[in-house]
């Protein structure tokens, strides 16, 4: 289990220009980070051997264009990429490596009003349609883009978000080993290790409540089913009791397979006076098991932020605290620096 305290300062530099029905947008950023993690080299308390300290400089950039016409919207864009779905920062090796570029978005959206009901459905590579803690990024990382269908319904102060996202294919027990390609034969279909697609199904009702002109709150409850998931979390230095081991701990470098997580999510976001905002989230996986032992399957986060990133030259500063159990969330889609272990 990991306890994380995060102090973050961010600034947005963006430009936009309208050309007919098209809108261009982009941003660039620099990040310096320093992390310290307990170094467990063996089992039990004797396995603790100081800390692992890491420093890194990272750069990121993105460029996109969007547009639309009556009842239809679209968007496409690229960004720097380092091969991770949850991070688009690129670390240079003394100028010896170049930026990797990948698709950030490529989607179409159909929007329609039915009296007091607002409806939209988005198809393609898109930003997550669900409400979540975007400060601590407890359940979903802000950089994650999903491929599939996202549905949104809004009726007054109530909304309903739903999605079916394709996570990729499996090759044996390895998720996404073949992108979204699946090769099947009569022989492979008879084997448990045959290739197939994995999915995320989710549904989330939310409610927005405006208490005053400068005080507004959002409450949401989500349920997520990661079907045929083969994702694993690195155990790192977690002290997990496992029957049969000499000292009763899992050595570093091990992994915990999450199977098919079924998660409940409770999230809230508050807009407060003086440009302040509060975010909080609690996530609980319905089941966790490691060699017959129940593991920590809950994650929570809370954070306070000043300012916002809505237009060029905006800035924000925030403080967040969180706790993640090894069996709570999938690290692949959660914040890359705040992972369950």
Is the confidence at residue 6, as pLDDT, over 70?
no
Q: How confident is the model at residue 237 (pLDDT cuts 50, 70, 90)?
A: very low
Percent of the residues in the chain that have a pLDDT greater than 70, as a whole number: 67
- Please report which helix (H) or strand (E) contains residue 267, including its range: strand 262-272
pTM: 0.80
Highest mean pLDDT among 105-114, 177-186, 312-321: 105-114
d(CA 169, CA 192): 14
Q: What is the mean pLDDT of the chain?
A: 78
Between strands 174-175 and 197-212, the pairing is unpaired
CA-to-CA dists, residue 80 to 128, 142, 222, 335, angstroms: 19, 14, 30, 17
d(CA 340, CA 164): 24
Highest mean pLDDT among 181-185, 231-235, 295-299: 295-299
Q: How confident is the model at residue 189 (pLDDT cuts 50, 70, 90)?
A: low
φ and ψ of 189, to 5 deg: -65, -25
CA-to-CA dists, residue 209 to 106, 268, 269, 275, 281, angstroms: 33, 11, 11, 18, 17
Average pLDDT rounded to a whole number, residues 80-85: 75
Q: What is the pLDDT of residues 238-280, one digit of tens each?
A: 444 443 333 444 444 556 777 778 999 999 999 999 999 999 9
Q: What is the pLDDT of residues 134-156, one digit of tens each?
A: 888 989 998 899 999 999 999 99
Average pLDDT rounded to a whole number, residues 208-229: 92
Closest of 83, 75, 124 to residue 101, by C-alpha: 83
Q: How confident is the model at residue 128 (pLDDT cuts 50, 70, 90)?
A: very high
Helix (H/G/I), strand (E/B), else coil: 325: coil
- Return the higher-pLDDT residue of 141 and 5: 141
In sequence order, what E strands does 12-47 have?
A: 17-19, 22-40
CA angle 268, 274, 279 (to 5 degrees): 15
């Amino acid at each position: 289990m990991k306890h994380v305290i995060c102090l973050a300062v961010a600034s947005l530099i963006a430009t936009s220009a309208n050309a007919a029905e098209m809108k261009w947008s982009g941003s660039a950023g620099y990040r310096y980070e320093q992390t310290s993690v307990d170094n467990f080299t063996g089992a039990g308390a004797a396995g603790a051997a100081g800390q692992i300290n890491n420093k890194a400089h990272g750069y990121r950039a993105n460029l996109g264009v969007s547009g639309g016409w009556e009842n239809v919207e679209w968007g496409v864009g690229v960004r720097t990429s380092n091969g991770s779905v949850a991070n688009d920062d690129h670390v240079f090796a003394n100028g010896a490596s170049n930026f990797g570029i990948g698709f950030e978005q490529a989607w179409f959206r159909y929007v329609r009003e039915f009296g007091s009901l607002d409806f939209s459905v988005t198809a393609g590579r898109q930003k997550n349609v669900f409400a979540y803690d975007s400060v601590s990024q407890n359940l979903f990382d802000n950089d994650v883009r999903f491929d599939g269908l996202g549905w949104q319904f809004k009726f007054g102060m109530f909304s309903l978000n739903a999605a079916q996202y394709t996570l990729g294919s499996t090759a044996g027990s390895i998720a996404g080993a073949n992108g979204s390609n699946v090769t099947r034969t009569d022989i492979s279909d008879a084997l448990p290790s045959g290739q197939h697609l994995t999915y995320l199904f989710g549904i989330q009702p939310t409610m927005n409540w405006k208490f005053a002109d400068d005080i507004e709150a959002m409450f949401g409850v989500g349920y997520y089913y990661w079907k045929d998931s083969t994702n694993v979390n690195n155990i790192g230095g977690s002290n997990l009791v496992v029957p049969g081991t000499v000292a009763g701990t899992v050595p570093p470098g091990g992994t915990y397979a999450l199977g098919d997580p079924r998660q409940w999510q409770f999230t809230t976001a508050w807009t407060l006076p003086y440009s302040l905002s509060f975010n909080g989230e609690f996530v609980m996986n319905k089941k966790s098991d490691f060699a017959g032992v129940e593991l920590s399957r809950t994650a929570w986060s809370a954070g306070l932020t000043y300012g916002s990133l809505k237009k060029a030259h905006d800035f924000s500063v925030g403080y967040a605290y969180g706790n993640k159990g090894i069996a709570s969330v999938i690290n692949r889609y959660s914040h890359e620096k705040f992972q369950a272990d």
